[in-house]
Structure 1
C-alpha cells in the first residue's frame, strides 16, 4: 500500500486521488467518485469533497493508499 503525505490537517478525496496518481484530473476524480468506484476505509464514498485525515485508506481499481499527516 502506498502512502501520501500531507502537510495539512486533511486533504479532500478528489485531490488525494490526483496526488496518488490514480486519476489524471479533477474531472476524472469527480466521475469515478460519482460512479461509486472509490472506497474510503472500506465504505463507498460519493462526495468528492470528503475530508481525509491521518490513517484514512482509499481504494480505487484495486489500488490503495493511506493518508499520512506530517504536521
Structure 2
C-alpha cells in the first residue's frame, strides 16, 4: 500500500456530509460520482470503509480516497 502525505481539508462548519467533501475538493467531478464512489466502498473514514453518503464528517476525521489521505480541519 502506498503511503503518502496527509493533506488538510478546511471546512467552514461541521458536520459536513462525506459526499460533499469529495465534491468540494474536486476529487470527483460531480455529486453523483461522489455518491457512486462511496456506494462502491472506495472511501475510507478513519481507516474504515464508509458506505453512508451522508456520513457526518467532523474536524479531526481522516478521509481516504484513491490512495490519498485528507485530514479534515475546521477553519
What is the rounded CA distance, in whole Å, between the counterparts of 1:51 and 1:22 in structure 2? 18
1:45 to 45, 50, 63: 50
- TM-score by length of structure 2 reads 0.87
What is the rounded CA distance, in whole Å, between the counterparts of 2:8 and 2:43 in structure 1? 17
Question: Could you tell me whether the CA contact under 8 Å between 1:20 and 1:65 is conserved in 2?
Answer: no
Question: Could you tell me whether the CA contact under 8 Å between 1:4 and 1:19 is conserved in 2?
Answer: no
Q: Which runs of 4+ in 1 moved over 6 A?
A: none
Between the two proteins, the alignment pairs up a number of residues equal to: 70
- TM-score by length of structure 1 reads 0.91
> Gaps (5+ residues) in structure 2?
1-5
CA RMSD of aligned residues (A): 0.9
Matched, 1:21 2:23: no
> Gaps (5+ residues) in structure 1?
none
Structure 1 counterpart of 2:11 = 6
